[in-house]
Structure 1
């Protein structure tokens, strides 16, 4: 067996599976294990004291007070899952098959790392009153009164979550200024010709978008920018300047990490250590479909990957994980969906005018559809996602005609 063959031979005592991380990826892993008939002990460890919860509603219903929380509808007791919440895991000793925690060592036979990602903070802003992140349920709880009191808000970062938070803050009646270091929203995610039309969405909502400038310093009540402007701020919300895999606790464990800090899993989501798997935002994996290693920080990856991990653990056989990445964002009255991976594409085709309420962009590589962004065109997304999965070759002229269903635009 290779070093990455992680499961022990059949016929031994039931293996003790420990999952570190109680977000979507961790919860779906323990549920999938039981669904596949795994009967051994399963423990789910979470650093937060709350019942495991879903994160997307934090920037929407939870933030606006239309929902108190977003706990997963999972009966862990009925599934015979041991929950250990409010417990930080500080290290991994692979030779001993043990985790280090403040409550003492936690032994495992099989380990699943599902610790997700952590947001990048604003340099020099730690401890400054009124500076917030939006990653956890507690973060959302601290921000809810800010919106209720209609404070002037400065949002740092015009990424996906920055747009969602801005949408919520404007809906609550807050004056919002968004500061983005790049020259356009979503600069690290989408090419200029796709992202630039989205800048107008901020103005439509009544928010002010300042691009090409950074935060120089923050003081109570004000944000000073590198271009000399000073923006009044009852609160500063840092939501869009990046996230990194939450893997610092693995230092010294011997587990292989990539330059981006991700656990470098193989095609079956097994790590470089025996009996250790990794899934979700903390793990990168090789994609034969796209010919490169992918690190996907999105909800759907945390939903799909655990099924592969559970199958490998329960069946003891390798399985290939090579999804078409997918995510969505609700912002400024629009439903934005993306499927695929457009790096390496050689052709960009528009379906519709970005000034219209709904439009789509398609990316082809050597005539094959590899990615698609749909703005309020869910049918394009649904059909396009299936075409990407099938590796469909497309007729560019028909793809560019928004009146032609994508499923009818194959060549």
Structure 2
């Protein structure tokens, strides 16, 4: 009789995590916190100790901090941390991932490879063109700010606004070029972003909307309308794409945007393979559509679901209220929820003032909230969204009424 291969118990299985950003690190930590005692291997492409990304566009960029390494003792947690190792392929049938240093076997694989920033066509090889996604990117940009260069930022999204803020704080001359007709065009409705245009002027930055880059050359940016902008440095912030190219040929199901299509436990289409963070989309019963959330909070929350499912703890379906924040032009901007299917928009306060909020409702129930300098609105609104609590729209539109007091 041939010997049958025994399936290892949940505590003995080898868990390999591909990606050592927030999602990967938190998955490793969550496994240990929830009692997993088997081997855990965390593979990171960068040589640096795993670090947090939000400070890169703030403290690290401005030289107020050397790095933003996570305060995690990987040795004490018995996590095998392999840095400077890039995963190159997945062979699901063999339960192995290929890396530059050879194959790594797994019983359970967690894909947490994040996202790659999009590059501007024609920018390859042009001196002075930068991205801002990694610690090395922030370090390279530090001298640009120190020398108070003329800077052109391509893209008026979240990253573009945050970098423009830091560059103006450092004393750089800043021009922001945005192809759409307004800042944050891909994230928020026109009426909500309209007041934000003034933030750029107040800070001393020039915002050019409806402007497209036609050509990049050392020291200048040429726009499609013929204008030429002086540019000692160009910073490109036009979005990101899930880092899943290495999965080509693996059989893993991807959505049209290139993200791994995970289920409500963050399991992929491949056996024993999970996906978490910026590289994965998941079905939201709350919002009735599949979501791809490229934000810090998603990379913090998802790992808890993954760890619980690996341990067989039958977690609740993963269906968070998305949340993120941004610090730009002296303002603290927070957003919770997903407003795509909203039927009502309520203003709380005058957008000409320093603090205001916008609340989105669907059939009288809050589904999203944007708060500018009103953290209490965000905290209370987020709870109402999570609990699906209807509100009185008249009271909810009164900025003097706490949102929790506007409950119907």
Q: TM-score, with normalisation over the residues of structure 2?
A: 0.97
For 2:340, which of 337, 343, 352 is the aligned residue?
A: 343
Partner residue, 1:388: 385
Query: What is the alpha-carbon distance in structure 2 between the residues aligned to residue 370 and residue 169 of structure 1?
Result: 34
Partner residue, 1:246: 243
**Deviations along 1:116-136, whole A, 9 cap, x unmatched?**
111100100111000000000
For 2:104, which of 99, 103, 106 is the aligned residue?
A: 106
1:6-405 to structure 2, matched below 5 A, reads: 11=9, 14-239=12-237, 241-315=238-312, 317=314, 319-405=316-402
Comparing both chains, which one has the higher relative contact order based on Cα–Cα distances under 8 Å and sequence gaps of 6 or more?
Answer: 1
Structure 1 unaligned regions, length at least 5: 1-7
Cα RMSD, aligned residues only:
1.1
Partner residue, 1:5: none
**Deviations along 1:87-116, whole A, 9 cap, x unmatched?**
111100000000011211100000000001
- The alpha carbon displacement at 1:11 in A equals 4.0
Contact 1:312 1:319 in 2 (8 A): no
Query: What is the alpha-carbon distance in structure 1 between the residues aligned to residue 255 and residue 16 of structure 2?
Result: 23
Contact 2:11 2:311 in 1 (8 A): no
Contact 2:366 2:390 in 1 (8 A): yes
**Deviations along 1:222-266, whole A, 9 cap, x unmatched?**
000011110000000002x11110000000000100001000000
What SS does structure 1 have at the residue aligned with 2:49? coil
Aligned CA distance change for structure 1 residues 88 and 367 (closer, same or farther; 3 Å): same
- The alpha carbon displacement at 1:317 in A equals 3.1
- The alpha carbon displacement at 1:196 in A equals 1.2
What SS does structure 1 have at the residue aligned with 2:61? helix
**Deviations along 1:16-41, whole A, 9 cap, x unmatched?**
00000000000000000000010000
Contact 1:300 1:325 in 2 (8 A): yes
Aligned CA distance change for structure 1 residues 202 and 13 (closer, same or farther; 3 Å): closer
Q: TM-score, with normalisation over the residues of structure 1?
A: 0.97
Number of paired residues?
Answer: 403
Query: What is the alpha-carbon distance in structure 2 between the residues aligned to residue 9 and residue 371 of structure 1?
Result: 44
What SS does structure 2 have at the residue aligned with 1:22? coil
Aligned CA distance change for structure 1 residues 11 and 17 (closer, same or farther; 3 Å): closer
Query: What is the alpha-carbon distance in structure 2 between the residues aligned to residue 209 and residue 13 of structure 1?
Result: 55
- The alpha carbon displacement at 1:318 in A equals 5.0
Partner residue, 1:3: none
What SS does structure 2 have at the residue aligned with 1:397? helix
Contact 1:19 1:114 in 2 (8 A): yes
What SS does structure 2 have at the residue aligned with 1:61? coil
Partner residue, 2:3: none
Contact 1:311 1:319 in 2 (8 A): no
Contact 1:57 1:70 in 2 (8 A): yes
Query: What is the alpha-carbon distance in structure 2 between the residues aligned to residue 265 and residue 102 of structure 1?
Result: 26
Partner residue, 2:404: 407
Query: What is the alpha-carbon distance in structure 2 between the residues aligned to residue 293 and residue 237 of structure 1?
Result: 31
- The alpha carbon displacement at 1:315 in A equals 2.5
- The alpha carbon displacement at 1:314 in A equals 1.6
Query: What is the alpha-carbon distance in structure 2 between the residues aligned to residue 9 and residue 310 of structure 1?
Result: 19
Structure 2 unaligned regions, length at least 5: 1-5
**Deviations along 1:278-310, whole A, 9 cap, x unmatched?**
000000000000010000000000000000001
- The alpha carbon displacement at 1:191 in A equals 0.3
Query: What is the alpha-carbon distance in structure 2 between the residues aligned to residue 109 and residue 171 of structure 1?
Result: 49
